[in-house]
Amino acid sequence: MANKNDPTEEMIRQLQETRRNLTSSLYQDFFQGPVAAPAGKQSGEQSASSAQAATQAPKAPVQKATGPDPKKPEDPPARQEPEEDPMETLNNLIGLDKIKHDVKELTDFARIQKARQKAGLRSVPVSLHLVFTGNPGTGKTTVARILAKLYKEIGVLSQGQLIEVDRSGLVAGYVGQTALKTQEQIQKAIGGVLFIDEAYTLASKNDDFGQEAIDTILKAMEDHRDNLIVIVAGYTEPMERFINSNPGLKSRFNKYIEFPDYTIDELMQIFDLNCKKYDYTVEASARTHVREMLSLKKLSSPENFANARAVRNLFEEIITNQAGRIAAMENPSCEDLKMITSEDLTDSADEELSARELAGMLGAEKASGETAKGSETERAPETGGTKENPETGGTKENPETGEMKKNPETKESARAGKDSVKGKGRDGKETTYGVPQDVSKSGICSKSGCREEADG
């Protein structure tokens, strides 16, 4: 056992105590802050020990700045138009009075049936699927979109979206894929309206792909009858054949809504509405010409007239021509930018092309007439001489004198056409005379504008 009074051991104990105190002081300085360094040799040893301790000590966690984070400039919020009442939207449409009445009847019936269900009463199971018939551009898609919103508003549909498809959106190119492709569109439409444009194209003869799409749609109409409405649309007669071609279609689509063509006054209202919407004004004379152009378009294709779509296309053509005219100005005013004149109704390049085509046609007609004058001649059986074919030539040989005599009627026939009649000439023999083709059955000459009755 060591002697406590031994001076050597006492010195060792003091040194150890000093060492412990020094180490403790170094750690306190590192974590709590700097203290005054001791002078002399002790200060040097303490500094060395402090550096060694600093390399071995764990690093303190770095604290993030507590100030506000710099924010990126936010884009201004997109301007949202206030949602208009769907019935008000319907009433603001131009024309379509009968359609507005039919849609109101449908929504009133659906609303009352929904109220009866809430009251615990039995409701009549009536199909809400529809057939829209009529020419393009008569508002079928627009009314279908409004109807979807109305049905959502009264609780018939859960979402009220409109999914618009045609044959290409339903039919695939390989067996077995059509059902999957059709089912994909149906899933998008659940809770709203599936609008199938030109649906009659699905029922072509020997078309297994189209029939597969029809079968898939019919099944979905049954499985989701409380939350899916299907509207098929197209031309009147093809749509009637399409519905009658399948008993399943006929039993589910029993309500037809016919969309009539717009009148000329209604078409002009649509044109004026486009001008107002995009800040254009139309000169009075130009507006009169626009009305004439729309009348001509409607008369030229009454069976498939594009209605509002034709007005839209005409409007876009006019403002394109107007932009070309304004671009040639140095400093156009605001009024110039807005004004549509008669000059904007036709494209100058198209007019030049039409003039060239017309000149080419006239030149070809003239060349054809000159060729007709030099056509082949045939032998006269009586004299052995020659006479010109009465269908193409203007002269013939007199069988008695041998003179070549011009026949004004056959000359006219060469210019006008190949129709002819037979009669007796001055010599008493049968002769063929040409009759101009531009004399119609009623005797009206289409080229010269004459209205005299033709002889015989």
Domain extent, residue 90, equals 86-259
125 near 226, Cβ under 8 Å? no
pLDDT of residue 10: 77
Q: What percent of the chain has pLDDT over 70?
A: 61
Half-sphere CA count of 123, side-chain side, radius 13 A: 17
- Residue 353 placed within a domain: no
- Residue 5 placed within a domain: no
The two structure tokens encoding residue 169: 């959106």
Identify the domain boundary among 226, 259, 292: 259
Which one, of 333, 343, 345, 339, lies nearest residue 275 by Cα?
A: 339
In this structure, are 90 and 235 located in the same domain? yes
In this structure, are 249 and 279 located in the same domain? no
d(CA 362, CA 256): 52
- Residue 216 placed within a domain: yes
In this structure, are 91 and 240 located in the same domain? yes
In this structure, are 268 and 412 located in the same domain? no
- Residue 12 placed within a domain: no
pLDDT of residue 21: 73
Identify the domain boundary among 213, 236, 259: 259
Is the pLDDT at 253 greater than 70? The verdict is yes
**DSSP secondary-structure letter at 391?**
T
In this structure, are 400 and 330 located in the same domain? no
- Residue 41 placed within a domain: no
> What does DSSP say about strands 193-197 and 162-165: parallel, antiparallel, or unpaired?
parallel
In this structure, are 118 and 233 located in the same domain? yes
Count of domains for the chain: 3
In this structure, are 92 and 132 located in the same domain? yes
Q: Give me the helix-helix angle, 284-300 and 264-277, nearest 10°.
A: 130
28 band by pLDDT with thresholds 50, 70 and 90: low
157 near 192, Cβ under 8 Å? yes
pLDDT of residue 199: 96
Top-confidence range, 61-65, 173-177, 212-216: 212-216
* Residue range 339-352, pLDDT digits in tens: 999 999 987 555 55
Mean pLDDT (whole number) for 9-14? 77
In this structure, are 279 and 223 located in the same domain? no
In this structure, are 165 and 221 located in the same domain? yes
Top-confidence range, 196-200, 367-371, 374-378, 395-399: 196-200
In this structure, are 121 and 242 located in the same domain? yes
pLDDT of residue 36: 47
Give the CATH number for residue 286.
1.10.8.60
Length, in residues, of the chain: 456
- Residue 356 placed within a domain: no
* Residue range 260-283, pLDDT digits in tens: 999 999 999 999 999 999 999 999
Coil vs helix vs strand at 233: strand
Which one, of 210, 343, 340, 222, lies nearest residue 274 by Cα?
A: 340
- Residue 395 placed within a domain: yes
d(CA 405, CA 387): 10
pLDDT of residue 94: 95
* Residue range 402-433, pLDDT digits in tens: 555 555 444 444 444 444 445 545 455 555 54
Identify the domain boundary among 346, 361, 394: 346
d(CA 390, CA 377): 9
- Residue 31 placed within a domain: no
In this structure, are 283 and 387 located in the same domain? no
In this structure, are 324 and 236 located in the same domain? no
